[in-house]
Amino acid sequence: MKVFVYFNLHKKCWSVMDWKSKLVVDHCDEISLDNPVFKVSQAGRERVRKEKRKNVHAGVLGCRTLSPDSHSNLTRRVTYNPYTHDTFVVEEEQTAVKDSCSVYMNKGKVFI
């Protein structure tokens, strides 16, 4: 199932939205996706910068993995801050990341 996943600031967990229906179908502490694409709405990012108030404008689009494999090889942490970056970035190198083979999201942290 193709889903869009974003961090829910109110519930402090991941919200999982079905890509076709645009309905939130799950909330979870951890999730794995295959072939993820990191999405940022530039208009939403600009609104955050202007209003100094966060809104849902960024997340990860991919196919949900029902039985996650070992995540020991996913060690590069990805982060996004609308006030300092235009895209998602690999934390150590501060380089932009658009997609990956797989992603593991756990308790507000994202690893590729």
**Where does the pLDDT of residue 68 fall: very low under 50, low under 70, confident under 90, or very high at 90 and above?**
low
Identify which of 73, 72, 71, 91 has the alpha carbon closest to the alpha carbon of residue 81: 91
pLDDT in tens, 28-51: 999 999 999 999 999 999 999 999
19-33, 34-48, 71-85: which has the minimum mean pLDDT? 71-85
Distance CA 85, CA 63 (A): 25
The per-residue pLDDT of the chain, averaged, comes to 94
The CA distance from 80 to 44, in Å, is: 13
- Is the pLDDT confidence value at 102 over 90? yes
- Strands 102-106, 109-111: pairing is antiparallel
Q: Which residue type does 59 have?
A: G
